[in-house]
Amino acid sequence: MMKKGSMFKAVGGIFLFFQISFILSFLLNLSQLHEIEDWFGKLLYSVFVFGIPGICLFRKGKQRRTKAEIEMQLRQRGILLPAKKLWRASNFMRGLGWMMLIFVELVLLGNMMIWSDMQEEVEMLFVFVLLLGVPGALLVWASTKIDRSADEKAMVEQYRVQLVNEMTDLAEWDDNFKPYERAASAAANKPMLPKVVDCTGCGAQIKVQPDSVAACEYCGSMMAYDAV
């Protein structure tokens, strides 16, 4: 079963691989850079096409995996987060944001293929990124913050409910244990009665008061209350 965040990390890794390959292609042809038209512009453009999206996707995958591990630890402790609703504002914001970012990425990738025909439209492309890319990234970021705040509130509420239940169970257990505690206390405080013991000297029976000793009338042996 694929772990949460694996898809984001895989796609991000592919983007970073392309970015590294692009940079290496320039490094392996340093002697011919002067022959490449606008090589620095192409290199900088590749950072926006591959580098930044790759880093963002890879980090997103790590965050989703970390979040899944935290939720698993909470479930093991008996703290369950409420099920998330599909139709909510944060999901709409995230979906719209990702659509805008994917559209910008496709446009940038397509323009990279026809770089020689785009020299005069780079400024227009930059404005396009500002108008769609930045708002899309802000929507995704805002939806993440909203979900994180909602999860924190849900965890606090769940922990409070669990604490109240534990206190209630403890109070009920204490109420059930009190009769036994009172019975044990009454038995411990019950007054001790005189006891008849056998004299160790002659075998006669002697009546002994609690916490005292008595002398045998026949042989004079002293017998204690707790004598066997």
Q: Are strands 222-224 and 195-198 parallel, antiparallel or unpaired?
A: unpaired
Over residues 118-145, the pLDDT tens digits come to 555 666 677 777 888 888 888 888 888 8
As a whole number of Å, the CA-based R_g of the chain is 41
Over residues 46-90, the pLDDT tens digits come to 787 888 888 888 888 888 888 777 777 767 766 666 666 666 788
- Which segment, 7-16, 73-82, 183-192, is predicted with the most confidence on average? 7-16
Give 15's contacts (C-beta < 8 A, 6+ positions apart). Answer: 50, 51, 53, 54, 57
pTM: 0.53
Domain boundaries, the chain: 1-80, 89-165, 193-224
Asked if 117 and 75 touch (Cβ cutoff 8 Å), the reply is no
Look at residue 211 in the predicted model and tell me its pLDDT: 66
Asked if 14 and 49 touch (Cβ cutoff 8 Å), the reply is no
Give the pLDDT band of residue 34 (cuts 50, 70, 90). Answer: low
DSSP E strands, the chain: 195-198, 205-208, 213-215, 222-224
Single-letter amino acid code for the residue at 82 = P
d(CA 20, CA 211): 93
